[in-house]
Amino acid sequence: MNATLTLVNDQNTVLSYLDEARKHHTQAALAKYLDIDVRTIRRWETRQTPPPAYLAHALQQLLPFGNDSPAGAFDFIDLFAGIGGLRNAFEQVGGRCVYTSEWDSYAQKTYAENFRDRHPIAGDITQVDAADIPDHDVLLAGFPCQPFSIAGVSKKNALGKKHGFACETQGTLFFDVARIIEAKRPRAFLLENVKNLVSHDQGRTFDVIRRTLTHDLGYHIHYRVIDGAHFVPQHRERILIAGFREPVAFDFDALPLPPKGSHTLKDILHRTDGSEPVLQWDEGRFFDHKKKKVQDKYTLTDNLWRYLQNYAEKHRLKGNGFGFGLVKPADVARTLSARYYKDGSEILVYQGTRKNPRRLTPRECARLMGYPDTFRIPVSDTRAYKQFGNSVVVDVMSHVAKLMQPMLEPGILETEAPLRYATR
Ligand SMILES: C[S@@+](CC[C@H](N)C(=O)[O-])C[C@H]1O[C@@H](n2cnc3c(N)ncnc32)[C@H](O)[C@@H]1O
């Protein structure tokens, strides 16, 4: 992969959004929106310093409704979109989202608040006819990890059947993804799921997925389990499956992975030393800037804290380990789950001996998942915790997107001789 080319492309993307946004907004308005100094905008505009790539989507939101990505970009679709973690990453490398499917109305609300689209958000993907999905270069899907019940089923001839994967579709949304790949033949896809997908049902589930994508659909796939802790202070192991219609020189091992633990929670916790940025869109919801502290509502009640300690003690005596994860700024958190809203037990922030620990605020959860502070949280805390707990570590996805990007733009595959047949 040509790293310099990728970097230039990222900068070009964010710069083109900046220039386009400036046609519609003053420097002062942009500075206010991004919550930065107006001089920074000036330095970007005069190309003294480059704007960071993660601002691409925030800047894109400022463009007239339904604005297209710059020329040379590729088109992608965002399935099981959640709040757009995968989209965020692929926009950073110049992609344009042409279709979205997400059936949860609260996730749709967060998504719509953060991504302005010409296209409406489609609902239940199982009800969508693939012919109604626009052509695209890349398919993105973090399909839900439902219990799979496809052990040992031979996939032979499945594609020849009238309704595609009819024998195996029951409750398995993966086959909706496969159905769409089969019909639309994108040049590439990126699928994301929990690490356990690989070992589920003694590896048979993953085997069916792998064979469906390679043998039945003819794609060249690469997969790797990556821990978010390389980029954010959170252990979050997820499997990524990148597939290409043509054989290409893609190699997950080329991902630059900083050592785990280089990011600790102090990077994402609200700062109480006066340096916490004031985000107008949060309006003091999570952090009290006058008192320089996290809002009291995030501190556990005595009842809940006592319950969690008793519960943990009970399990410790049974030899089951602790039930909660108490963290300090120098730590790396456990995986944020979609059930964090219940008691927050997997990540509790230590607040000294005289105060009960607290939950992370939704803004801290956003940061823990690699979302920039420009990301809007228009739903209740409960919904927000679920949405971030279901999402992806954006930084992991942007690095994967960067790695895939040279193979995504139309024309590249047609003009380059296949370098390596790299199916694993
Ligand atoms: C694991 S989450 C993916 C999150 C996403 N990658 C993100 O970054 O936020 C799976 C999402 O699929 C959605 N979903 C589940 N079944 C669906 C269906 N049949 N049609 C459309 N969306 C569905 C869920 O509501 C959930 O938001």
pLDDT band of 306, cuts 50, 70, 90: very high
Q: Per-residue pLDDT for 17 more than 90? A: no
Please tell me which residue, 184 or 17, carries the higher pLDDT value: 184
pLDDT digits (tens, 9 = 90+) for 26-63: 788 788 778 788 888 888 888 888 888 778 767 776 66
Please tell me which residue, 414 or 331, carries the higher pLDDT value: 331
User: What's the CA gap between 43 and 216, in Å, rounded?
Assistant: 52
pLDDT band of 193, cuts 50, 70, 90: very high
**Domains observed in the chain:** 1-66 (no CATH), 67-258+391-415 (3.40.50.150), 265-390 (3.90.120.10)
pLDDT for the residue numbered 152 = 28
Q: Which of these, 344, 324, 331, 329, lies nearest to 385 by C-alpha position?
A: 344
Which residue has its alpha carbon closest to ligand 1 atom 5? 82
Are 365 and 384 in contact by the 8 Å Cβ rule? The answer is yes
Angstrom distances, CA of residue 161 to CA of 154, 156, 168, 174, 175: 13, 10, 12, 17, 13
pLDDT for the residue numbered 35 = 79
pLDDT band of 410, cuts 50, 70, 90: low
Q: What SS3 state is found at 262?
A: coil
pLDDT for the residue numbered 165 = 31
Listed in sequence order, the residues at least 6 apart from 10 whose beta carbon sits closer than 8 Å to its beta carbon are 53, 56, 92, 93, 94, 402
Angstrom distances, CA of residue 386 to CA of 82, 282, 371, 377: 10, 18, 15, 12
Q: How many CA atoms lie within 13 A of 329 on its CB side?
A: 9
Are 90 and 189 in contact by the 8 Å Cβ rule? The answer is no
pLDDT for the residue numbered 320 = 67
145 belongs to the catalytic site: yes
Q: Which atom of ligand 1 is nearest to the CA of 87?
A: 8
pLDDT for the residue numbered 145 = 66
Q: Per-residue pLDDT for 96 more than 70? A: yes
Locate 100 and state its tokens. Answer: 């979205």
Q: Per-residue pLDDT for 285 more than 70? A: yes
pLDDT for the residue numbered 45 = 85
C-alpha R_g of the chain: 22
Q: Which of these, 66, 244, 22, 284, lies nearest to 138 by C-alpha position?
A: 244
pLDDT digits (tens, 9 = 90+) for 101-126: 999 999 999 999 998 887 899 999 99
Is 108 touching ligand 1 by the criterion CB < 6 Å? no
Q: How many CA atoms lie within 13 A of 332 on its CB side?
A: 16
Is 392 touching ligand 1 by the criterion CB < 6 Å? yes
Q: Which atom of ligand 1 is nearest to the CA of 392?
A: 8
Q: Per-residue pLDDT for 251 more than 70? A: yes
Distance in Å, CA 74 to ligand 1 centroid: 23
From 40-44, 170-174, 225-229, 337-341, the region with the lowest mean pLDDT: 170-174
DSSP label at 126?
G
User: What's the CA gap between 402 and 149, in Å, rounded?
Assistant: 34
Are 111 and 99 in contact by the 8 Å Cβ rule? The answer is no
Angstrom distances, CA of residue 266 to CA of 10, 114, 345, 357: 28, 26, 19, 16
Only one residue has tokens 């922030």, namely 349
Q: Per-residue pLDDT for 232 more than 50? A: yes
pLDDT digits (tens, 9 = 90+) for 131-180: 999 999 999 999 886 544 332 233 333 444 332 233 344 347 999 999 99
Q: Which atom of ligand 1 is nearest to the CA of 140?
A: 6
Distance of CA 104 to the CA centre of its chain: 16
If one counts every other C-beta atom within 10 angstroms of the C-beta of residue 133, the result is 20
pLDDT for the residue numbered 291 = 96
Only one residue has tokens 């310099």, namely 4
pLDDT for the residue numbered 158 = 40
Angstrom distances, CA of residue 244 to CA of 10, 352, 408: 21, 51, 9
Which residue has its alpha carbon closest to ligand 1 atom 26? 82
If one counts every other C-beta atom within 10 angstroms of the C-beta of residue 127, the result is 10
Q: How many CA atoms lie within 13 A of 221 on its CB side?
A: 22
pLDDT digits (tens, 9 = 90+) for 347-362: 999 999 999 999 999 9
State how beta strands 138-141 and 188-194 pair: parallel
Q: Which atom of ligand 1 is nearest to the CA of 173?
A: 19
Region 286-302: mean pLDDT is 96
Q: Per-residue pLDDT for 307 more than 60? A: yes
Which residue has its alpha carbon closest to ligand 1 atom 11? 80
Only one residue has tokens 């991004």, namely 34
Query: Whole-angstrom distance between the N-terminal and C-terminal Cα of the chain?
Result: 18
What are 188's strand-pairing partners? 138, 244
Is 391 touching ligand 1 by the criterion CB < 6 Å? yes
Is 281 touching ligand 1 by the criterion CB < 6 Å? no
User: What's the CA gap between 86 and 192, in Å, rounded?
Assistant: 9
pLDDT band of 97, cuts 50, 70, 90: very high
What are 220's strand-pairing partners? 244
pLDDT digits (tens, 9 = 90+) for 365-408: 999 999 999 999 999 999 999 999 999 999 999 999 999 999 88
In terms of C-beta density within 10 A (0-12 exposed, 13-18 middle, 19 or more buried), how is residue 111 classed? buried
Most confident range (mean pLDDT) of 173-177, 242-246, 321-325 is 242-246
Average pLDDT score over the chain: 84
pLDDT for the residue numbered 119 = 86
pLDDT for the residue numbered 63 = 64
pLDDT for the residue numbered 201 = 79
Are 409 and 248 in contact by the 8 Å Cβ rule? The answer is no
Distance in Å, CA 104 to ligand 1 centroid: 8
Is 144 touching ligand 1 by the criterion CB < 6 Å? yes
